[in-house]
Amino acid sequence: MTDMRLSLSFDGPVAHLAICRSEKLNALDAEMIDTLLSLCRHIDRSDARAVILTGEGKAFCAGGDIAAWSALSPEDFGRRWLRDGHQAFDALARLRQPLIAVLNGHCLGGGLELAACADLRIAEAHVKLGLPETGLGVIPGWSGTQRASRRFGAQLIRRMALMAEVFSADQALALGLVDQVVPSGQGMDAAMVVAHRVLARSPRATEITKQLINAAEGEDRERTIEMLAGALVAGSDDLAEGMTAYREKRQPRFGKRD
């Protein structure tokens, strides 16, 4: 499934992922969630070595489109809206490439949960950040209480989600919600500087290091351990011998080379 409200392009080894629904402040609906998951798979399998995520227009992302979820039954709200959103956001957070989020506009609710998927967040000076969901009678349901707590600290999430605190870009920098603040309109230039720093480093070491950091946070730990262990075994002489023995219909001679 594709959706023209999300755009993916490549500038050499840098992938650019943009939410293009400026008339709705880049709010996400169910079809956009499906497309985001599909695009994450495409990025992960591409030759890109860094990814930049941003929103079109005046907002980074207003989170979930209220019109898209407010009419859902409780069952559909949990089974599809929240579950599918988790799948897409998990795929984004677990991209093998470093992900840089350019917060070029307000970053509230699901938009902050989206930004939390990134490895580094660059906020333009006018940006506000917060988790206002409880004021609408819902919860931060796309890992705002889980991934965001792990990455930013549970007390900070309490202040936003329970006390309705909204932070400016400078406050967010001091609190660790963002990693850099730049003047309005300069977020993409700053992100390209960071992307080129990533490109200057070892691709394989960078990829594995990101996976290990994610695992330390509890992000997809089981799969990361098995994936790294599997890659280690796949490069061994034992695998080559095992496959040769299978093709020759004989018992493998592990550790016994002619």
Beta bridge partners of 54: 18
The alpha carbon of residue 83 and the mean position of all alpha carbons in its chain are separated, in whole angstroms, by 16
Q: Tell me the DSSP string of 178-219.
A: -SEEE-TT-HHHHHHHHHHHHHTS-HHHHHHHHHHHHHHTTS
Q: How far apart are the first and last CA of the chain?
A: 52
Catalytic residue among 133, 207, 217, 226: 133
| Cα–Cα separations (whole angstroms), residue 166 to 80, 127, 155 | 29, 10, 14
Distance, CA of 120 to CA of 206 (rounded, Å): 14
| Active-site residue flag, 248 | no
What Rg, from alpha-carbon coordinates, does the chain have?
21
| Active-site residue flag, 217 | no
SS3 content of the chain, % helix, strand, coil (to 5): 50, 15, 35
Catalytic residue among 56, 113, 124, 219: 113
Q: Token pair of 14, please?
A: 């840098």
| Cα–Cα separations (whole angstroms), residue 51 to 1, 43, 44, 81, 160 | 21, 8, 10, 25, 28
Write down how long the chain is.
Answer: 258
Active site residues: 113, 133
